[in-house]
């Protein structure tokens, strides 16, 4: 469809959550904004392929995710960089206690496998349905559900329970490969 | 005598891969707090300008010649 004013406004309206998603994925504010810029250019260049009436945010998130994936394969994510840069993106610094809790959460989130992290963010923070998240990630709805559950369990183990060993990588991988019943 | 640790793990792992509603909502809350911090920053000028610019008829996306919207990126690769 052509780039109408209203479509342009809708794209603009999606930018804040695209940035939030990009930062959650990359853990790096600068790279996140590059990713958003690339996403917008890609979207605008391919605007003809957008189906009027379909879910615009989901379409944009799909583009961003795919760009991140191909970028990720090229250069590995700089995990050490993540916390400092992320904190810089905050306009107001949270209080010290909240800040500590926030960093802890961020660190735990960074420990999740990428598949699980993106599924959790799409469903738990961006507010997409399981169906939309599945279409964004190009996988089955059941896979998304299972990833979200894994992600939550692992976060809980890392943050709120001693004995994170119970949710070690082996267990996680086995569960993902085996597919979980619920 | 049960110690605190075993009580904690018991109360947070109610079988079947589920978590207590309390833990679930705590995770959800923190996740959204983190995400919304960024969302609340709104649309940075660089993106608003980019979208405006590309709205012109016949405009082609050109990052390099975009008039300085891409400063951060230069020289990084």
pLDDT of residue B32: 94
| Residues in chain A closer than 8 A to B8 (CB atoms) | 160-162
Q: How far is CA A168 from CA A121, A155, B21, in A?
A: 21, 12, 23
CATH assignment of A1-91, among 1.10.1740.10, 3.40.50.12780, 1.10.10.10, 3.30.300.130? 1.10.1740.10
* Contact state of B63 with A41 under an 8 Å Cβ cutoff: yes
Q: What is the pLDDT of residues A89-113, one digit of tens each?
A: 554 455 666 677 788 898 999 999 9
Tell me: pLDDT of A65 over 90: yes
Which residue from A minimizes the CA distance to B48?
A12
Q: Most B CBs within 10 Å: which of A2, A37, A39, A120, as the mutation test of the B interface?
A: A37
pTM of the predicted protein model:
0.71
CA angle B1, B5, B9 (to 5 degrees): 115
Closest CA to A102 of A118, A117, A85, A83: A83
pLDDT of residue A27: 83
DSSP assignment of A42-109 equals HHHHTGGGSPTTS-HHHHHHHHHHHHHHHHHHHS---HHHHHHHHHHT-SSPPPHHHHHHHHHHHHHH
* Contact state of A91 with B40 under an 8 Å Cβ cutoff: yes
* Paired tokens of A118: 């993106």
| Residues in chain A closer than 8 A to B32 (CB atoms) | 124-125
Which residue from B minimizes the CA distance to A105?
B30
Residue B18, C-beta contacts closer than 8 angstroms, at least 6 positions apart: none
Q: Where are the domains of chain A?
A: 1-91, 94-182
Q: What is the pLDDT of residues A3-40, one digit of tens each?
A: 888 888 999 999 999 999 999 998 888 899 999 999 99
What is the nearest CA distance from B38 to chain A, expressed in angstroms? 5
Is 1.10.260.40 the CATH number for A94-182? no
| Residues in chain A closer than 8 A to B43 (CB atoms) | 12, 15-16
* Contact state of B8 with A162 under an 8 Å Cβ cutoff: yes
Tell me: pLDDT of B9 over 90: no
Q: Residue B37's pLDDT band (boundaries 50, 70, 90)?
A: very high
């Amino acid at each position: 469809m052509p780039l109408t004013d209203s479509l342009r406004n809708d794209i603009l309206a999606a930018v804040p959550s695209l940035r939030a998603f990009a930062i959650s994925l990359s853990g790096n504010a600068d790279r996140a904004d590059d990713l958003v810029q690339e996403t917008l250019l890609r979207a605008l260049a391919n605007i003809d392929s957008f189906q009027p009436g379909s879910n615009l945010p989901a379409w944009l998130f799909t583009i961003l995710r795919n760009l991140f994936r191909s970028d990720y394969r090229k250069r590995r994510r700089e995990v050490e960089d993540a916390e400092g840069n992320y904190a810089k993106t905050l306009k107001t610094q949270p209080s010290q206690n909240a800040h500590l809790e926030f960093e802890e959460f961020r660190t735990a989130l960074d420990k999740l496998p990428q598949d699980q992290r993106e599924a959790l963010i799409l469903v738990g923070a961006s507010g997409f349905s399981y169906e939309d998240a599945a279409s964004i990630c190009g996988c089955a709805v059941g896979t998304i559900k299972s990833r979200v559950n894994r992600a939550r369990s692992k976060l809980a183990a890392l943050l709120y329970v001693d004995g994170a060993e119970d949710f070690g990588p082996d267990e996680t991988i086995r569960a993902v490969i085996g597919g979980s019943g619920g | 005598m049960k110690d605190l640790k075993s009580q904690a793990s018991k109360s947070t792992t109610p079988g079947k891969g589920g978590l207590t509603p309390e833990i679930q909502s705590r995770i959800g809350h923190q996740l959204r707090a983190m995400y919304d911090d960024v969302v609340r920053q709104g649309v940075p000028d660089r993106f608003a300008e980019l979208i405006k610019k590309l709205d012109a008829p016949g405009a082609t996306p050109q990052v390099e010649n975009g008039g300085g919207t891409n400063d951060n990126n230069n020289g990084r690769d």
